[in-house]
């Protein structure tokens, strides 16, 4: 059992929890909790190391057994060591290091989300979870967004990372993808364009959601062929990025499940 917070393995985990650069250099990230670990295993992501405490849950024990069967090194740690390694105040008894891997984009795209400069990790995680739930095929992140493998983004995503292709790309690469796939580019922007319910979302498309502070940047503005907005009769200037994404994405879902045309 590891009982010292100064153990080199634990110190390395703490660095990986806090440093985007360290995660990118080593091509690994940390997942905490039995639910997220289970999601990663179900999606067949490769684990490299496991740390656990003796108060691990029943679900966590099942994940631990599966990891051991896969030949992953497992090490028990004391509760205070787990607290030191964890990014949460109340660790769930299991922490796993996984290798980063890229999920390939589908060959035929018709529902894509671009997130422009979303810097709040809680917002990004929530948007990824919403995107996965709404059937988005891929999320494209231009420069300026928060690291998708930061602990708070992972927790907010609730397993979306393991099922949904998420690619950090330059704007030129993003434009190439949208043009080759023939996607109609729609920008969600406060006060601009049509009311979001009046847009027809049934053709292949990409939705752009801008960041919390300043909205979409100039590259996104240039790419966009159409803009939509969410009416706010209460007089608020703008919605939280995650809320706005949810409203627009599920309008796409509603229209594609319905035979009704958008309101004129």
pLDDT at 149 over 90: yes
How many angstroms separate the CA atoms of 4 and 185, rounded?
53
The number of angstroms, rounded, from the C-alpha of 178 to the middle of its chain's C-alpha atoms is: 20
For residue 190, count other CB atoms closer than 10 A to its CB: 15
Amino acid 130: pLDDT: 98
Q: Regarding the domain with residue range 111-257, which homologous superfamily does it belong to in the CATH classification?
A: SPOUT methyltransferase, trefoil knot domain (3.40.1280.10)
Exposure string for 91-106, b = 16+ CB within 10 A, e = fewer:
bbbbbbbbeeeeeeee
Looking at the chain, how many residues does it have? 264
Amino acid 261: pLDDT: 60
pLDDT at 29 over 90: yes
Residue 188, classified by CB atoms within 10 Å of its CB into exposed (0-12), middle (13-18) or buried (19+), is buried
Contact predicate 21/100, CB 8 Å: no
pLDDT at 264 over 60: no
Contact predicate 104/96, CB 8 Å: no
8-state DSSP, 149: T
How many angstroms separate the CA atoms of 16 and 23, rounded?
6
Sign of CA dihedral 188, 116, 100, 126: negative
CATH class for the region spanning 8-99: alpha beta
Contact predicate 61/103, CB 8 Å: no
Exposure string for 154-179, b = 16+ CB within 10 A, e = fewer:
bbbbbbbbbebbbbeeebeebeebbe
Mean pLDDT of the chain: 93
Amino acid 229: pLDDT: 94
Helices and strands, number each (H, E), in the chain: 10, 11
Mean pLDDT in residue range 240-264: 86
Report domain extents, the chain. 8-99, 111-257
Mean pLDDT in residue range 75-81: 97
Distances (CA, A) of 24 to 17, 84, 143: 12, 22, 15
Amino acid 262: pLDDT: 61
Amino acid 54: pLDDT: 94
Q: What are phi and psi of 9, to 5 degrees?
A: -65, -40
pLDDT at 34 over 90: yes
Which pair of structure tokens corresponds to residue 207? 């939705």
Alpha-carbon Rg for the chain in angstroms: 20
Contact predicate 159/39, CB 8 Å: yes
pLDDT at 18 over 60: yes
Give residue 164's pLDDT band: very low, low, confident or very high (50, 70, 90): very high
How many angstroms separate the CA atoms of 78 and 54, rounded?
8
Q: What is the pTM of this model?
A: 0.92
Per-residue pLDDT tens over the stretch 202-238: 999 999 998 876 778 899 999 999 999 999 888 777 7
């Amino acid at each position: 059992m590891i009982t010292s917070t100064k153990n080199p393995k634990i110190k390395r985990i703490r660095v990986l929890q806090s440093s985007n650069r360290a995660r990118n250099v080593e091509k690994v990230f940390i997942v905490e909790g039995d639910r997220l670990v289970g999601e990663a295993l179900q999606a067949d992501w490769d684990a490299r190391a496991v740390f656990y405490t003796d108060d691990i849950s029943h679900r966590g024990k099942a994940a631990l057994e599966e990891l051991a069967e896969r030949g992953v090194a497992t090490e028990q740690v004391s509760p205070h060591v787990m607290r030191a390694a964890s990014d949460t105040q109340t660790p769930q008894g299991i922490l796993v290091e996984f290798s980063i891997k890229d999920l390939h984009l589908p060959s035929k795209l018709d529902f894509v989300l671009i997130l422009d400069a979303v810097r709040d990790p809680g917002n990004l995680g929530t948007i990824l979870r919403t995107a996965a739930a709404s059937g988005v095929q891929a999320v494209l992140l231009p420069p300026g967004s928060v690291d998708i493998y930061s602990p708070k983004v992972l927790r907010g995503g609730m397993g979306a990372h393991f099922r949904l292709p998420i690619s950090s790309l330059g704007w030129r690469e993003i434009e190439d993808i949208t043009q080759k796939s023939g996607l109609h580019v729609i920008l969600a922007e406060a006060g601009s364009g049509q009311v979001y319910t009046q847009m027809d979302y049934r053709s292949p498309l990409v939705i752009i959601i801008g960041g919390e502070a300043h909205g979409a940047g100039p590259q996104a503005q240039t790419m966009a062929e159409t803009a939509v907005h969410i009416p706010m009769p209460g007089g608020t200037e703008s919605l939280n990025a995650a809320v706005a994404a949810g409203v627009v994405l599920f309008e796409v879902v509603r229209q594609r499940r319905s035979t009704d045309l958008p309101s004129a």
